[in-house]
Chains A and B, each alone.
Chain A
Amino acid sequence: MTADVSLRAWGLEKSYVVQSIRTQALSGVSLALHPGELSLISGPSGCGKSTLLSLLSGLSRPDRGEVRALGTDLCALDDAARDAFRLVHCGFVFQGFNLFPALDALEQVQLVLDYCGIPHDVGRRAAARVLDMVGLGPRQHLRPAELSGGEKQRVAIARAIVKRPRLLFADEPTSALDSVNGAIVTDLLREIAHRSGTIVVCVSHDPRLIARADRVIEMEDGRLCRDSRGASRSGATETCP
Chain B
Amino acid sequence: MAVALARKTLVHEWRRFLPAVMSVGFSGVLIIVQGALLLGIVGTNALPVTQSRADLWVGFPGTQSADLGRSIDAGAAAELLVDPRILRVEPLLLGSGDWRGPRGGGVSVTLIGIDTRPDGLGLAEAMPRSGRALLTEPATVLVDAADLDKLGTAIGGAAEINGQRVRVVGTTDGMRAMGGVNVVASLATVRALDRSLAAAGDVTYYLAALRSPGAARAVKARFSQSETRKRFEVWTAEDLAGRSVRYWLLESGAGVGFIFATIVALLVGTLITSQTLTAAVAASTPQYATLRAIGVPFPKLRRIVVEQAAWVGAVGLALGLAGSLLAAALAYLNGIPFALGPGIMALSGGLVLSVALLAGVLALRRLRHADPAALLR
User: What residues make up the interface of A, taking CB atoms closer than 8 Å to B?
Assistant: 50-51, 53-54, 57, 59-60, 80, 83-88, 90-92, 94, 96, 98-103, 107, 110-112, 114-115, 120, 143, 160, 163, 171
* Contact B13–A98 (Cβ < 8 Å): no
* Contact A103–B295 (Cβ < 8 Å): no
Cβ of B300 within 8 Å of any chain A Cβ, yes or no, is: yes
The 8 Å CB contact of B294, one of A91, A96, A99, A101, is: A91
In the bound complex, CA of A100 to CA of B288 (Å): 9
In the bound complex, CA of A60 to CA of B372 (Å): 9
Return the chain B residue nearest A163 by Cβ: B294
Distance in angstroms from B154 CB to nearest chain A CB is 63
In the bound complex, CA of A85 to CA of B296 (Å): 10
In the bound complex, CA of A88 to CA of B294 (Å): 8
* Contact B295–A87 (Cβ < 8 Å): yes
In the bound complex, CA of A103 to CA of B289 (Å): 16
Return the chain B residue nearest A86 by Cβ: B295
* Contact B9–A100 (Cβ < 8 Å): yes
* Contact A83–B8 (Cβ < 8 Å): no
Residues of A near B376 (CB, < 8 A) are 50-51, 53-54, 59, 94, 171
The 8 Å CB contact of B293, one of A86, A101, A110, A143, is: A86
* Contact B373–A102 (Cβ < 8 Å): no
Distance in angstroms from A148 CB to nearest chain B CB is 19
* Contact A120–B1 (Cβ < 8 Å): yes
* Contact B3–A85 (Cβ < 8 Å): no
Return the chain B residue nearest A53 by Cβ: B376
Residues of A near B375 (CB, < 8 A) are 92, 94, 96, 98, 171
Return the chain A residue nearest B375 by Cβ: A94
Binary per-residue interface labels of chain B (1-43) against chain A in the complex, 1 for a CB within 8 Å, 0 otherwise: 1110100110111000000000000000000000000000000
In the bound complex, CA of A86 to CA of B60 (Å): 77
* Contact A102–B8 (Cβ < 8 Å): yes
Cβ of B323 within 8 Å of any chain A Cβ, yes or no, is: no
Residues of B near A101 (CB, < 8 A) are 9, 12-13
A-B contact pairs, 20 of them (CB 8 A): A53-B376, A54-B372, A80-B297, A86-B294, A90-B294, A90-B295, A91-B294, A92-B372, A94-B376, A98-B290, A98-B375, A100-B287, A101-B9, A101-B12, A102-B5, A103-B3, A103-B5, A111-B2, A115-B295, A120-B2
Cβ of B107 within 8 Å of any chain A Cβ, yes or no, is: no
* Contact A98–B287 (Cβ < 8 Å): yes
Distance in angstroms from A99 CB to nearest chain B CB is 7
Distance in angstroms from A234 CB to nearest chain B CB is 31
Distance in angstroms from B149 CB to nearest chain A CB is 56
Distance in angstroms from A17 CB to nearest chain B CB is 16
In the bound complex, CA of A86 to CA of B292 (Å): 9
* Contact B291–A115 (Cβ < 8 Å): yes
Residues of B near A114 (CB, < 8 A) are 2-3
In the bound complex, CA of A217 to CA of B373 (Å): 21
Whether A102 contacts B13 in the complex (CB less than 8 A), given A94-B375, A111-B3, A114-B3, comes out as: yes
Return the chain B residue nearest A80 by Cβ: B297
Cβ of B377 within 8 Å of any chain A Cβ, yes or no, is: yes
Distance in angstroms from A196 CB to nearest chain B CB is 17
Whether A107 contacts B293 in the complex (CB less than 8 A), given A102-B9, A102-B13, A171-B376, comes out as: no
In the bound complex, CA of A50 to CA of B246 (Å): 67
| Central interface residue in B1, B9, B286, B296, by most chain A CB within 10 Å | B296
In the bound complex, CA of A30 to CA of B108 (Å): 97
Residues of A near B294 (CB, < 8 A) are 86-87, 90-92, 112, 115, 160, 163
Distance in angstroms from B226 CB to nearest chain A CB is 67
Distance in angstroms from B117 CB to nearest chain A CB is 69
In the bound complex, CA of A59 to CA of B377 (Å): 12
Cβ of B284 within 8 Å of any chain A Cβ, yes or no, is: yes
Distance in angstroms from A89 CB to nearest chain B CB is 8
Binary per-residue interface labels of chain B (257-296) against chain A in the complex, 1 for a CB within 8 Å, 0 otherwise: 0000000000000000000000000001011011111111
The 8 Å CB contact of B290, one of A53, A88, A94, A120, is: A94
In the bound complex, CA of A163 to CA of B12 (Å): 27
Distance in angstroms from A104 CB to nearest chain B CB is 9
